[in-house]
């Protein structure tokens, strides 16, 4: 028994640890400007520790946290629900940053306001690298740096500055969820102001490549947000977008959240503007000083533009980097290339199946807290048909990363192919909805969703959205769908194209389809369509 346990019960020790953790959170840089979120969090934690969790409801929170009047009705006023969402994201952001090694995790589960407390079983122990995981691990300066500057208030009324600060706060929360970026929030605190020269010095000192800023204009109930992304090194505007809407006090936060989410997906995701901009610049360039950085960007170029040339360039760069770089993300990217090689039967090496599994497991050892690496490990379990490991890893991975990031689309795609169609399609359709760009193979899973229900017209619409010119799955699925609709001539044309792309397809048909489709009945239904299209089987 240690000294503390002589004087405190285990329950008291746990409570003291939770209250200490609460102080750590509210004193962090993420929460220090978010007084209302701290008040929200302290209230629900205190009520729970005092045994009054059954009193934590939307109505009581509105009255006691947000000082609403007796006429407050949470069914019609979304104030509590919106701020609960903000609190969940801020907590997620805290535990990805300064709180990643804290002993206790405080969470507010979705759909509830009562907090849960658990030990942090993923904290980085002594002797382990404490560099934040991400595609450019090993040297944090390799990641693209982006600064979010104060948005100009063009309304002529200082009281509307809160719109500017509110949008920057939401953008910071959303963009920090993307592992590929280092994000700086340059909004001044209440006791200081940045001058133009201060901001320029800040940008130079931190090697910031991109700046996100803009303006806010409000007139009556109408508000307009101009958001633009600038490459400050090459002095050119990369992207700009104007968002317009009518607001009132109750839905303003939701409008800011929606804009921030759209902007973050546009510029921060794997197919977003920043990585797209950088990857195109290095796609045909020789290695530079940061070899791992260039290799990862060439890999992203391969993902965005799948050609034999982009594949060869990425594979060469990654293999070269692997000789002297032990970052988890280099292993993960190589694992993805070998998994593509195996499942699409276009071997870049004879042992791609084994290499994919080895590299995925090694990546997970080196970067256990990376969302991308956890996604790669989930896919590994899918390809190796490790069913229970897949579902366990899926649940772990889906809780990580941005709300509708593209890697969540990858997870949902494989979940659907493993038979969890309804859960998977809800995630996948939201990813597509909120993504600036996304891989068109996502539509293959949606096509199969309708095909298995024999809704062939709906499946055909999805086949129109699949732009996979070098992938035999595109003419294969289209041939099957058209044949089921009785459009035999068109089906045969597509099957002929499939045979040109994959001359040995008929000998491997069941084997190849089963690499993705885990339901025997669905495999049989696809084969039935292909037989109608002319397959000899």
Using the 3D structure, point to which of 84, 119, 154 is the last residue of a domain: 119
Same domain as 187, residue 78: no
CATH code for the domain in which residue 239 is found: 3.40.50.10610
Same domain as 149, residue 111: no
Same domain as 264, residue 158: yes
Same domain as 147, residue 113: no
Using the 3D structure, point to which of 119, 148, 164 is the last residue of a domain: 119
Same domain as 259, residue 152: yes
CATH code for the domain in which residue 523 is found: 1.25.40
Using the 3D structure, point to which of 268, 290, 324 is the last residue of a domain: 268
Domain-located, residue 324: no
Domain-located, residue 51: yes
Q: Rounded distance, CA 461 to CA 467, Å? A: 12
Same domain as 158, residue 226: yes
Compute the half-sphere exposure of residue 293: CA atoms within 13 Å on the CB side of its CA.
16
Same domain as 163, residue 231: yes
Same domain as 111, residue 14: yes
Q: Which domain holds residue 464?
A: 453-537
Domain-located, residue 395: no
- Domain count for the chain: 3
Q: Rounded distance, CA 477 to CA 474, Å? A: 6
Please name the residues in contact with 177: beta carbons below 8 A apart, sequence gap of 6 or more. Answer: 89, 92, 93, 96, 264, 268, 401, 402, 403, 405
Measuring CA to CA, which residue among 151, 152, 146 is closest to residue 168? 151
Same domain as 145, residue 114: no
What string of pLDDT tens digits covers the 537 residues of the chain? 443 334 444 566 578 888 899 999 998 877 877 888 899 999 999 998 888 888 999 999 989 998 888 888 887 777 888 788 888 878 877 887 778 888 888 988 877 899 888 877 655 443 333 322 233 333 334 578 888 888 888 887 776 777 777 788 788 878 877 777 778 766 554 333 345 556 777 777 777 888 888 888 887 777 888 999 988 877 788 888 888 877 664 466 677 878 888 888 788 876 677 776 666 555 544 444 457 767 887 887 787 777 888 888 888 888 888 876 667 888 999 999 999 999 888 877 778 899 999 999 999 988 887 888 899 999 999 999 999 999 999 999 988 766 667 788 999 999 999 999 999 999 999 888 877 678 889 999 999 999 999 999 999 999 999 887 778 999 999 999 999 999 999 999 999 999 999 999 999 999 999 999 999 999 999 999 999 999 886
3-state secondary structure 290-333: CHHHHHHHHHHHHHHCCCHHHHHHHHHHHHHHHCCCCCHHHHHH
Tokens of 494: 């597509």
Same domain as 147, residue 97: no
φ, ψ of residue 104 in degrees (nearest 5): -120, 135
Domain-located, residue 372: no
Domain-located, residue 345: no
């Amino acid at each position: 028994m240690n000294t503390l346990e002589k004087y405190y019960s285990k329950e008291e020790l746990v409570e003291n640890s939770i209250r200490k953790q609460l102080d750590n959170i509210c004193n962090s840089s993420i929460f220090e400007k978010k007084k209302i979120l701290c008040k929200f969090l302290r209230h629900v934690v205190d009520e729970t520790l005092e045994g009054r969790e059954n009193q934590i409801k939307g109505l009581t929170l509105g009255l006691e946290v947000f000082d609403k009047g007796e006429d407050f009705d949470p069914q019609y006023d979304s104030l509590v629900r919106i701020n609960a969402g903000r609190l969940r994201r801020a907590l997620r952001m805290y535990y990805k940053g300064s709180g990643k090694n804290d002993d206790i995790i405080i969470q507010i589960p979705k759909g509830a306001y009562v907090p849960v407390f658990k030990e942090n079983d993923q904290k980085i122990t002594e002797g382990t690298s404490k560099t934040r995981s991400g595609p450019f691990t090993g040297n944090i300066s390799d990641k693209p740096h982006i600064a979010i500057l104060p948005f100009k208030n063009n309304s002529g009324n200082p009281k509307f500055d809160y719109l500017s600060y509110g949008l920057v706060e939401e953008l910071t929360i959303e963009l920090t969820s993307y592992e590929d970026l280092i994000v700086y929030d340059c909004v001044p605190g209440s006791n200081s102001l940045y001058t133009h020269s201060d901001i320029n010095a800040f940008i130079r000192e931190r090697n910031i490549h991109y700046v996100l800023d803009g303006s806010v204009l409000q007139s009556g109930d109408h508000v307009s947000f101009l958001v633009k992304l600038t490459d400050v090194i090459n002095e050119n505007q990369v992207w700009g977008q104007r968002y317009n809407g009518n607001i009132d006090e109750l839905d303003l936060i939701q409008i800011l959240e929606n804009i921030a989410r759209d902007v973050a997906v546009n510029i921060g995701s794997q197919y977003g503007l920043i990585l797209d901009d950088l990857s195109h610049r290095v796609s045909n360039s020789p290695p530079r000083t940061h070899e791992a950085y260039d290799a990862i960007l060439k890999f992203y170029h391969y993902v965005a533009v799948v050609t034999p040339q982009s594949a060869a360039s990425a594979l060469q760069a990654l293999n070269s980097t692997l000789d002297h770089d032990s970052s988890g993300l280099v292993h993960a990217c190589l694992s993805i290339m070998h998994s593509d090689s195996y499942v699409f039967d276009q071997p870049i090496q004879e042992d791609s199946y084994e290499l994919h599994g080895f590299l995925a497991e090694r990546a997970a050892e080196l970067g256990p807290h990376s969302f991308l690496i956890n996604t790669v490990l989930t896919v590994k379990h899918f390809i190796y048909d490790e069913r229970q490991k897949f579902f366990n890893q899926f649940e772990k991975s889906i809780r990580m990363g941005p709300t509708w990031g593209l890697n969540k689309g990858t997870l949902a795609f494989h979940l659907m192919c493993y038979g969890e169609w309804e859960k998977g399609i809800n995630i996948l359709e939201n990813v597509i909805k909120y993504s600036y760009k996304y891989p068109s193979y996502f539509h293959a899973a949606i096509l199969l969703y309708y095909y298995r229900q024999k809704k062939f017209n709906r499946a055909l619409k999805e086949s129109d959205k699949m732009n996979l010119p070098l992938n035999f799955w595109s003419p294969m699925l289209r041939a099957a769908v058209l044949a089921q609709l009785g459009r035999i001539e068109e089906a045969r044309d597509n099957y002929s194209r499939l045979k040109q792309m994959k001359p040995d397809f008929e000998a491997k048909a069941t084997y190849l389809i089963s690499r993705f489709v885990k339901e025997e009945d669905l495999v049989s239904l696809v084969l039935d369509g292909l037989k109608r299209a002319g397959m000899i089987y």
